[in-house]
Structure 1
Amino acid sequence: MGGCAVNTRLTRTLSSVTFAMAVLCGLVFLGTGLSHMLDDGAVCVKTSFWANASLGKLPIGEGVEAGSSTTRLCQNDPSVGQRAADLGGELPWLLFGALALLLFSRLLDAVLAKGPFTDVVARRLSVLGWVVAVGTPLAGLVVGWSKSWLAGSMAPVIGSGPEVAGPQALILAGLAAVIMGKIMREGVRMREDLEGTI
């Protein structure tokens, strides 16, 4: 009985902390977007495409400053497209994090309200899994494309195509959550069938 109360308290605390982190990620997302739109400073990007090139031979554009060994390019007077690409290099992961944390918080709320082995929990686990499995490569593609386009707009070189950025191993975690949600849903259905026959 005491262990159940501790688990309930721990789940409630984890749900509250997760929700607070989701709100914080959302606020950082909005704050970053607003500050970048109102900022008129330089836009910078790091790229490893020219890691072995000497900087004196880079075909950098007008108003672009290039760093030494890390190939850091900065545009002093960026265009609207360059500023948008700079945002695309930061905002997708913040949005993805806020959404995933919010869905995880709702999952924990369902566990507290209905119990762990219910249809609602299984559905929310599957939804969280799909969001993580699909959102991870999508956010990675947007970030990779944005950084690649931004670097290409400052130092155009053929072959510096987009990359997929971020922890792509999260796709496996998302797919595992989808599978666990399906298993739980089947277990709930079998339990309901068994209870109906007794």
Structure 2
Amino acid sequence: MTAGLISSVVHGGWADVSVCVTDDSATSSAAPAGLLPEPGAQLGSVPRYCAENPGTTLRLLNQLGDLPSTLLLISGLFLLHRLLQGAARDGVYTAQTASRLRLLVWWLLLGSLVAEIIESNARAAVLADLARTADFTAGTWLGLWSPPWLAVLTGLGLLTFARITRAGAAMREDLEGVV
């Protein structure tokens, strides 16, 4: 994604980039022509808006819809690499390993929330630009926002492991002091 954005800016290849957004907040039970559900089944439709010739602002907003998650992934992998290197060098049950783990967890927890907020705002701005019925409001943003529950729950679980590692480090220091 980031490489695509840089390539588009450097080479000027924005002419063939399509900008589309799906309005997940607006659903309809009206069946499009030719699609008939079986008795007892319901057919729903979700509108998808695409720009024919998007401008620079719309293209940047579209790229902003994916960029924060990509940056969070890259930075999270960097912090994970530092954690694993430090654990291999210093040991698993050390205060440094516990603090590195806690830093990684908080970075991913808060970063996933911030990334989703930025991305949903960018999608709401694109939707407001492409749809006559949508405005860039808090209601539109909330309709497009999906909380990163998996990241939050995983982060909370990993915080527990960081506490266990910190307790293990304290017990290791006590044991080294006794022996």
Q: Place the TM-score, normalised by the shorter chain, in its bin.
A: 0.7 to 0.9
Distance 2:146 2:8 in 1: 21
Q: What per-residue deviation string (whole Å, max 9, x for no partner) do you get for residues 68-93 of structure 1?
A: x4422112232332112101111111
Q: Secondary structure at the match of 1:160?
A: helix
Name the one with the larger helix percent: 1
What is the CA deviation profile of residues 83-141 of structure 1, one whole-angstrom value per residue up to 9, with x for unaligned ones? 12101111111111111122112222122212221222111111111011111111111
Give the whole-Å Cα distance in 2 for the aligned partners of 1:127 and 1:192.
22
Cα distance in 1 for residues equivalent to 2:54 and 2:81: 39
Q: TM-score, normalised by structure 1?
A: 0.68
Provide the residue aligned with 2:167 in structure 1. 186
Distance in 2 (CA, whole Å) between partners of 1:101 and 1:126 is 14
Any runs of at least 4 consecutive aligned residues in structure 1 with deviations exceeding 6 A, and if so which?
A: none
Confirm or deny that 1:132 pairs with 2:113: no
1:97 aligns with 2:73: yes
Q: Which runs of 5+ in 1 are unaligned?
A: 1-28, 55-68
Q: Verify the 8 A CA contact 2:19 2:62 in the aligned structure 1.
A: yes
Q: Tell whether 2:15 aligns with 1:40.
A: yes
Identity %: 28
RMSD: 2.3
Query: Cα gap change, 1:35/1:45 in structure 2, threshold over 3 Å: closer, same or farther?
Result: farther
Tell whether the 8 Å contact from 1:73 to 1:154 is kept in structure 2 after alignment: yes
* Structure 2 portions without partners, runs of 5+: 31-44
Q: Indicate conservation of the 8 Å contact 2:22/2:47, yes or no.
A: yes
Partner of 1:170: 151
Distance 2:70 2:28 in 1: 32
